[in-house]
Amino acid sequence: MLRKSSREVAASLRHARSLAIMRQQPVLWKMNIKDKRFWIEGGADNAERTFSSAIEAKINTTSAEVSSADQGGIRFFPDGGSTGGSVELTYKQQTYKVNVEWVTGRVSIQ
C-alpha cells in the first residue's frame, strides 16, 4: 500500500514536469495532506488522486507554494526545473520519501 502510493505520487510529479516542458509554461502539482489527495492544477483531465487514510503525508516545499496548513505544491517550469521539495508518506513506522530536485526537476523515491 505504501510503496504503491509513493509510486503514484512520483508518477504524478513526473507527469506534471512533462506537461510543463511540453506546454512550455509552468505547471503546479498540489497535495492536500488532510484529505489525502493530490492533483495537477489545470491538468488536461483535472483528475484528483487519493491514497489510503491510514497513510500519514507531509509535503516539504517553498513557502511561496504553501496554500494553507494542509495544502502545498511543487511548481515545474518549461526548462524541466522546479521549485523543489519532497513528499513523505508514512505507514506503520515505514516512510517513503519522494524527492523533487529544484535544478533539474528530477523525481526520485527513497
| pLDDT, tens only, 42-94 | 766 668 999 999 999 999 999 999 999 999 999 999 999 999 999 999 999 99
Could you count the other beta carbons within 10 Å of the beta carbon of residue 86? 17
Tell me which residue of 81, 79, 80, 99 sits closest to 89, measured CA to CA. 99
For the chain, give the longest Cα–Cα distance. 41
Q: Which domains, ranges and CATH numbers included, belong to the chain?
A: 2-105 (3.55.40.10)
**Residue 36, C-beta contacts closer than 8 angstroms, at least 6 positions apart:** 50, 51, 52, 53, 55, 57
The mean predicted confidence, pLDDT, of the chain is 94
- Retrieve residue 8's grid coordinates: 503514484
CB 84 within 8 A of CB 77: no
